[in-house]
């Protein structure tokens, strides 16, 4: 496993297992498979509706001696309606209770809307109380990240954003580095959109290393010093996504992948007014 050191001097695994869109009834088994394969970073969220099942998997993995708690790096996120300071305090305790944990390694603000500053104050207090070890944000664009980092006492340790071959966000990453905020990747494969897994350029590179397109994409992201989240419920694919530490892409191949950038989200613009309305009105 490769690690990155956050701006609070805590080490974070660079490859993690995400559970977005995994049904609750399948989550426990998927997380256990991931831990057995070697994943130590597990990422969930209140809005995924499977925090409890993630917690069940963690408890079983620890109780059976598969892993020690301190070896794991557990991330969850609170939703917009939990951002007012008092709500955030309740939400933090609720996630710990659901997951049967004394602390969470990283808590993120899931969206950049609403009372982010009130939530941040509650998160700061939870760090002081030992309930959280690191705190961060998600889906903040570079402008919002710079504004936020300049107005809070403790800078975010992490910003989790969409990055994939179609949406490479080099400018955003430059600003993350300037403010020492670790960029973390969701949807590294763009959920297969625009036929990513059939792309001829990526396939040619994969063939050269005797790897899959998915493995090449993960390696490309790791070599950009990004934290990467992958997801699957199938053990073979979970293993494949983890099997990326025995090769390195050449500078030439890194540059070739750079030419695939389309400069726009494969999903939606988080700053489109209609999307903001939809997300800010959604209750968790």
Active site residues: 48
Q: How far apart are CA 233 and CA 119, in angstroms?
A: 32
Tokens 């006492």 appear where? 153
Which residue in the block uniquely carries the two structure tokens 């950009």? 224
Q: Which of 92, 32, 38 is nearest to 58 (CA)?
A: 32
Q: Helices 251-258 and 213-222: crossing angle, nearest 10°?
A: 100
Which of 245, 246, 240 shows the shortest CA–CA distance to 37? 240
Query: How far is it, in rounded angstroms, from Cα 278 to Cα 47?
Result: 14
Q: Are 61 and 33 in contact (CB under 8 A)?
A: no
Q: How far is CA 265 from CA 18, 123, 140, 169, in A?
A: 19, 29, 14, 10
- Distance from C-alpha of 162 to C-alpha of 190, rounded to nearest angstrom: 8
């Amino acid at each position: 496993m490769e690690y990155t050191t956050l701006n609070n001097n805590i080490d974070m695994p660079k490859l993690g297992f995400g559970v977005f869109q995994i049904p609750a009834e399948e989550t426990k088994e998927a997380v256990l498979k991931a831990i057995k394969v070697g994943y130590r970073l597990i990422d969930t969220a209140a809005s995924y509706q499977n925090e409890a099942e993630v917690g069940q998997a963690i408890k079983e993995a620890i109780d059976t001696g598969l892993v020690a708690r301190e070896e794991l790096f557990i991330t969850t996120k609170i939703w917009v309606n939990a951002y007012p300071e008092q709500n955030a305090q309740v939400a933090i305790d609720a996630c710990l209770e659901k997951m049967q944990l004394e602390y969470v390694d990283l808590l993120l603000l899931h969206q950049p809307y609403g009372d982010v500053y009130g939530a941040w104050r509650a998160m700061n207090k939870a760090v002081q109380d030992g309930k959280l070890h690191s705190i961060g944000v998600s889906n903040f664009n570079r402008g919002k990240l710079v504004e936020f980092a300049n107005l809070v006492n403790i800078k975010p340790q992490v910003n989790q954003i969409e990055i994939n071959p179609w949406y490479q966000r080099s400018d955003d990453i430059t600003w993350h580095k300037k403010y020492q905020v670790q960029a973390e990747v969701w949807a590294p494969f763009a959920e297969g959109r625009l036929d990513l897994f059939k792309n001829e350029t990526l396939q040619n590179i994969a063939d050269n290393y005797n790897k899959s397109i998915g493995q090449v994409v993960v390696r490309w992201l790791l070599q950009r010093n990004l934290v990467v989240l992958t997801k699957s419920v199938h053990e073979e694919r979970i293993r494949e996504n983890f099997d990326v530490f025995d090769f390195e892409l050449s500078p030439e191949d890194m540059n070739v992948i750079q030419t695939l950038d389309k400069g726009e989200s494969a999903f939606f613009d988080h700053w489109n007014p209609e999307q903001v309305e939809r997300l800010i009105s959604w209750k968790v």
